[in-house]
Amino acid sequence: MDRFDAMRLFTRIVELGSFTQAAEDLQLPRATVTLAVQQLEKRLGARLLHRTTRHVSPTQDGEAYYARCQQLLADLDETEAAFASAGQQPKGKLRVDLQGTLARYFVLPRIGEFFARYPGVELELGMGDRLVDLVRERVDCVMRGGEPADSSMVGRRVAQLAQVTCASRTYLARHGVPRSVDELRGHRAVNYLSSRTGKPMPLDFVVDGAPRSVQLKGAVSVTDAFAYVACCTAGLGIIQVPRYHLEPQLADGSLVEVLADFRPPPMPVTVLYPHSRQLSPRVRVFVDWLAEVMANAR
């Protein structure tokens, strides 16, 4: 095993916290992995990993070596990709994770266009709102709505989506129509739980040019966008979502926009990827294509 292969092996052990999982991930025999780490530590003259029966973690020297390995391997991959891709179509597996409603409304209806343009790419597509550890899970990029929480990733803004605050006609007939943000006192919300904190997300407004957040009580909390809208349609409370998601309900009158004079700022949509994927031809063309698909999203 050459030095770069040993570095790749070591970084996967650190990221996965397991010799066994790293061996399975890289399709290597467990014994080969153990021997390679022993040889690496002997060559460096330093202990790199704490080993227990349940978990493997880096020592202080291991953490420093891991950081250097990440940078060296990223530089190597970027250099090879830049030369290998010259004049060639990108190919190989691309692992991406897209926020579910964005994927269903904007991306999946046009996904055939991507494969027509780049037939050599094999796409592994996940959909949801969960937090994804891109490095540990080896995901190449994610597309998410809202302000990015992970500043360690490279981010590309691909859309700004108008948001609306809505309730059903039955809810408004029962609780009244709020005319100002202050009149929300006593109203109820369908609460959406943040995938990052597990807590209900507040309703956001702009009042006299300044942002203002309001947290309402509610009888139901959800973690899924479809359930969010369904509970609102059932009259369980007020919600706030990008307008594209509610166009049919707004058109047929089953949902009604409220507090239109205090709409929240547009929701940013961002594609995130690790620095190590910055020059990958597969990632580059997919991110460019996503930006093209989302260019007219409002």
- pLDDT of the chain, 298 residues: tens digit per residue: 788 899 989 999 998 889 998 999 888 998 999 999 999 999 999 999 998 877 899 999 999 998 888 878 877 776 666 665 555 778 888 889 999 899 999 999 999 999 999 998 989 999 877 777 776 777 888 999 888 876 778 889 999 999 999 999 999 999 999 999 999 999 999 999 987 788 999 999 999 999 999 999 999 999 988 999 999 999 999 999 999 999 999 999 999 999 999 999 999 999 998 876 666 788 889 999 999 999 988 8
State the virtual CA torsion across 76, 77, 81, 83 in degrees, nearest 10: 10
- Residue 106 is encoded by which pair of tokens? 């904007």
Q: Left if phi > 0, otherwise alpha if psi is -120 to 50, otherwise beta: which for 237?
A: left
Placement of tokens 């300044």 in the chain = 210
In the prediction, which pLDDT does 234 show? 95
- Record the pTM: 0.69
Domains and CATH numbers, the chain: 3-84 (1.10.10.10), 92-159+271-294 (3.40.190.10), 163-265 (3.40.190.10)
CA dihedral sign, ordered 87, 91, 95, 101: positive
In the prediction, which pLDDT does 130 show? 73
Q: How many CB atoms lie within 10 A of CB 293?
A: 20
- Residue 131 is encoded by which pair of tokens? 């937090």
Q: How far apart, in whole angstroms, are the C-alpha atoms of residue 7 and residue 2?
A: 9
Reported as half-sphere exposure (CB side, CA atoms, 13 A), residue 41 has a value of 16
Q: Measured in whole angstroms, how far is the alpha carbon of residue 280 from the centre of its chain?
A: 18
DSSP 15-49: HHT-HHHHHHHHT--HHHHHHHHHHHHHHHTS--E
Q: How far apart, in whole angstroms, are the C-alpha atoms of residue 77 and residue 279?
A: 8
Question: ∠ CA 152-158-163 to the nearest 5 degrees?
Answer: 105
Q: How far apart, in whole angstroms, are the C-alpha atoms of residue 279 and residue 272?
A: 13
